[in-house]
Amino acid sequence: MNVVVLAKYVPNPNGVPELGDDFLLKREGVEGALDPGDEFGVEAGLQLAEAQGGEVTVVSMGPEAAMGGVRKALSMGVHKAVLVTDDSLRGSDTLVTARVLAAAIQKAGFDVVIAGVESTDGYTGTLPMALAELLGVPSVTFARKLDVDGGKVRIERQTELGYDVVESELPAVITVTAGATNPRYPTLKGIMQAKQKPVERYTVSDLGLSGDDATPTQRVTTVEAAPEKGPGEIVEDDGSGAQRIAQFLQEAKVI
């Protein structure tokens, strides 16, 4: 089975995000990491290949630095990688990203594509479905649990009030929620081996895409500070904290 896992390289998820003059998130020259959401997908992909046989390929689109995220996935045990880097892709929106990833995935071949539900920095959460549409396959999304058997995938899909069981034929795109799996830590051996693993590098034209395909349809025109509310009252609890809250609730006529 050919398993493709998607990996986005994002600015340090625990850091303070910064915007450049062009209102785009600064991705170069800032510390970054494999999107924590994608670690669940990488783990799911590895488990699938371990159970079913086959190879896992990590596919990523991003700047040079995105190699960092790719390497993390390789050191977790992924077999090979595809990284698409192109200056024209700076500031691309989800449609452009979906086109690029679809072309790269088609080149690699796939039975299953696993993505995160949403990225930590962009959190649009629509890329995997656009990708599935471009690949012409079904998508099963928000999986908190997944099983693949006999050319079929069966997932528990998170819903507003509980969960649905969704089944689909393969090939398909699957998105996994945080908590769907327990991502493994790279071992020292894994980290050493990662350096030897094959990494294909592509540009937009290598994928047979044109400049039009890579033109974003959205642009941030301005960024303003949101109206701030004044600072609230902060009190150290010396045993009277509960009374202060009760008084506040009374003033608010909640009690």
Partner 1 sequence: MTKVWVYADVRPGKVDASALELLTKARSLADTVEAVALGPGATEAAGTLGEYGAQAVYASDDEVYSDVVATAAAHTLHQLVQEHQPNMILFSQGYDARDVAGRLQAKTGSTLMSNASDVTGVDAAETQIFGGTKIAKVSLGGPDPKLVLMRPKSVAAEPHGEGTANVVPVEVEVPEDLKKARRVERHEEEATGPKLEEAKVVISGGRGLQEPDNFKLLDELAAALGGAAIGATRAVVDSGWVPYNYQVGQTGKTVKPEVYFAIGISGAIQHLVGMKESKRIIAINKDAEAPIFKIADLGIVGDALKVVPALTEEIRSRKGG
Ligand X SMILES: Cc1cc2nc3c(=O)[nH]c(=O)nc-3n(C[C@H](O)[C@H](O)[C@H](O)COP(=O)(O)OP(=O)(O)OC[C@H]3O[C@@H](n4cnc5c(N)ncnc54)[C@H](O)[C@@H]3O)c2cc1C
**Contact residues: ligand AMP, CB under 6 A:** 6-8, 35, 37-38, 41, 60-62, 94, 97, 101, 115-116, 118-119, 122-128
Number of residues located near partner 1, criterion CB under 8 A:
75
- When the beta carbons of 172 and 244 are compared against ligand AMP, the nearer one is 172
Tokens of 185: 């830590």
Q: What are phi and psi of 2, to 5 degrees?
A: -90, 115
Task: Decide: 84 and 203 in contact? Cβ < 8 Å.
Answer: yes
CB of 168 to partner 1, least distance (A): 4
- Show contacts with partner 1 in window 26-55 (CB under 8 A): none
Task: List the one residue from 39, 111, 118, 156 that touches ligand X (CB under 6 A).
Answer: 118
Contact 104, 220 (CB under 8 A): no
The interface partner of residue 8, options being ligand X, ligand AMP, partner 1, none and the CB cut-off 5 to 8 Å by kind, is ligand AMP
Can you tell me the distance from the alpha carbon of 171 to that of 60, in angstroms, rounded to the nearest whole number? 20
Q: Residue 215 CB, nearest distance to partner 1 (Å)?
A: 8
What is the distance between the terminal CA atoms of the chain, rounded to a whole angstrom? 61
Q: Are strands 172-176 and 112-116 parallel, antiparallel or unpaired?
A: parallel
Q: Which stretch binds partner 1 (CB under 8 A): 41-49, 78-86, 185-193, 219-227?
A: 219-227
User: Which among 102, 101, 100, 99 is positioned nearest to 135, based on CA atoms?
Assistant: 102
Query: Residue 231 has which token pair?
Result: 């600072």
Residue 169 contact among partner 1, ligand AMP, ligand X, none, beta carbon within 5 to 8 Å by kind? partner 1
Closer residue to partner 1 (CB): 71 or 110: 110
The encoded tokens of residue 80 equal: 């090979």
Given CA atoms 11, 112, 214, 72 in this order, what sign does their dihedral have? Answer: positive
Picking from 55, 79, 134, the residue whose alpha carbon sits closest to that of residue 101 is 134
CB of 145 to ligand AMP, least distance (A): 18
Single out the segment in contact with partner 1 by CB under 8 A; choices: 42-50, 151-159, 188-196, 199-207.
151-159
Question: Of these, 164, 192, 198, 205, which contacts partner 1 (CB under 8 A)?
Answer: 164
Residues that bind ligand X (CB under 6 A): 13, 36-37, 118, 120, 123
